[in-house]
């Protein structure tokens, strides 16, 4: 899989950009603030419909513009597809596939697959559980795009149920309130069962790849392992030695329903939903201790890198090689970790790299260097990408 062309309009600092790409390795060179990361962020957005830097879409639209547009032509196994996404201020986003509108933007998911390495990855180990849940869910959705609808439905039902819990908790808990809550319990459990089945399957299949990647990066360190952490699922679902196989969403739904019933008095008292995948975590273990709070800075970086390398190998295993996005990450890594990442990048079909100076890129990654420069007033930027040794590529 590779990106043949990328186009941006009013995305972040880019008023306009048309860029032709090819398989192999491309390095975007430029000082901080010139829009290098914005290019990789745009590619990542087309793959996941989310930014790795911000939670909302509004900051992605250039200051003063009403909308931003991102488009790419993607080649997968000889088949060429065009994706276009339009981000709108105060209105729903829209998308096109091969220049034809789609009903929901999530219908373009799966066309482009990427794995992104960025300085923010350290939050996968040291950050809140929400960072690790997002990692799991985005990887699940990359593998099975239909899960995007399940995630959206689960979030919608969770908001509705949480609002009802707050209302019922303040009032006399009428029979009508509790009856309505029963209905929402059923909806929540249905979507939770599907989401949990995908997450459990993912963790089981990802574990050996992460363990192997960590061994290659830090052979002198303690062994790394991952697991699924949940306060309501029975132990047999969380047992890493459990035989592999598809988890049953219907069985998981019944578990969630049972736990929701048991937790209802506490939920009504507190006005929050205490059961469901929104409370779970990806457990990261070094030796016999959790990585968070016990891992050194170097071990934390190694684990974060192992998670991304494991994701890359898992996607490769499915038969589609994702585009690698390396956002100024080599500057954050020591010699051994740089070498481990470079070894993977050297064999990938397409790698897009950002760096401030050429010295930040390992010499074994022979690549096409493109300089990224931004000039003009801060509120009316004109951006430019040019080849280091050839004529300009229009920006």
* Structural contact between residues 317 and 27, judged by C-beta atoms closer than 8 angstroms: no
- What is the dihedral sign for C-alpha 289, 292, 295, 299? positive
According to the annotation, is 32 in a ligand binding site?
yes
CA-CA distance, 278 to 366, in Å (whole number)?
A: 43
CA-CA distance, 176 to 167, in Å (whole number)?
A: 12
* Structural contact between residues 37 and 11, judged by C-beta atoms closer than 8 angstroms: no
According to the annotation, is 292 in a ligand binding site?
no
CA-CA distance, 341 to 362, in Å (whole number)?
A: 10
According to the annotation, is 93 in a ligand binding site?
no
Q: What is the separation, in whole angstroms, between the first and last Cα of the chain?
A: 24
According to the annotation, is 110 in a ligand binding site?
no
Q: Tokens 């065009």 identify what position?
A: 82
Nearest to 231 by CA among 190, 277, 199: 277
According to the annotation, is 310 in a ligand binding site?
no
Q: For the CA atoms of 223, 330, 73, 375, what is the dihedral angle to 10 degrees?
A: 150
CA-CA distance, 343 to 308, in Å (whole number)?
A: 14
Q: How far is CA 378 from the centre of its chain?
A: 30
Per DSSP, the three-state class of 353 is strand
Per DSSP, the three-state class of 287 is coil
CA-CA distance, 136 to 294, in Å (whole number)?
A: 22
- Helix residue ranges, H only, 171-248: 175-217, 235-238
CA-CA distance, 139 to 50, in Å (whole number)?
A: 12
Token representation of residue 110: 């799966």
Which is it for strands 281-286 and 14-20: parallel, antiparallel or unpaired? Answer: unpaired
CB atoms within 10 A of CB 358: 12
According to the annotation, is 31 in a ligand binding site?
yes
* Structural contact between residues 136 and 199, judged by C-beta atoms closer than 8 angstroms: yes
According to the annotation, is 35 in a ligand binding site?
yes
Which is it for strands 24-29 and 368-375: parallel, antiparallel or unpaired? Answer: parallel
According to the annotation, is 24 in a ligand binding site?
no
User: Could you tell me which residues are annotated as the binding site?
Assistant: 30-37
User: Could you tell me which residues are annotated as the binding site for ATP?
Assistant: 30-37
């Amino acid at each position: 899989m590779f990106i043949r062309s990328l186009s941006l309009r009013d995305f972040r600092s880019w008023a306009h950009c048309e860029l032709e790409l090819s398989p192999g390795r491309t390095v975007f060179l430029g000082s901080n603030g010139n829009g290098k990361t914005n290019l990789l962020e745009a590619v990542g957005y087309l793959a996941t419909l989310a930014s790795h830097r911000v939670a909302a879409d509004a900051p992605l639209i250039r200051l003063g513009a009403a909308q931003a547009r991102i488009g790419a032509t993607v080649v997968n196994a000889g088949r060429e597809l065009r994706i276009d996404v339009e981000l709108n201020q105060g209105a729903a986003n829209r998308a096109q596939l091969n220049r034809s509108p789609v009903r929901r933007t999530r219908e373009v998911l799966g066309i482009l697959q990427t794995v992104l390495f960025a300085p923010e990855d350290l939050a996968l180990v040291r950050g809140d559980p929400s960072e690790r849940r997002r990692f799991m869910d985005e990887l699940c959705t990359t593998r099975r795009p239909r899960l995007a609808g399940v995630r959206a439905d689960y979030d919608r039902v969770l908001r509705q149920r949480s609002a009802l819990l707050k209302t019922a908790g303040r009032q006399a808990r009428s029979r009508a309130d509790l009856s309505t809550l029963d209905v929402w319990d059923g909806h929540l459990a249905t979507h939770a069962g599907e989401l949990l089945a995908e997450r459990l399957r993912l963790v089981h299949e990802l574990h050996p790849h992460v363990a192997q990647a960590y061994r290659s990066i830090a052979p002198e360190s303690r062994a790394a392992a991952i697991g699924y952490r949940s306060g309501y699922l029975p132990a047999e679902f969380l047992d890493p030695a459990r035989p592999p196989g598809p988890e049953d969403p219907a069985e998981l739904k019944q578990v969630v329903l049972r736990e929701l019933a048991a937790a209802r008095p506490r939920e009504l008292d507190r006005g929050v939903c205490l059961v469901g995948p929104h409370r779970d975590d990806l457990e990261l273990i070094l030796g016999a201790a959790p990585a968070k709070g016990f891992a050194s800075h170097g071990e934390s970086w190694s684990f974060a890198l192992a998670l991304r390398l494991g994701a890359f190998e898992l996607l490769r295993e499915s038969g589609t090689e994702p585009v690698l996005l390396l956002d100024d990450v080599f500057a954050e890594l020591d010699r051994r970790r740089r070498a481990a990442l470079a070894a993977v990048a050297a064999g990938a079909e397409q790698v897009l790299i950002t760096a401030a100076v050429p010295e930040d890129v390992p010499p074994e990654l022979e690549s096409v260097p493109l300089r990224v420069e931004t000039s003009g007033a801060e509120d009316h930027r004109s951006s430019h990408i040019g080849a280091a040794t050839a004529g300009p590529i229009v920006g």
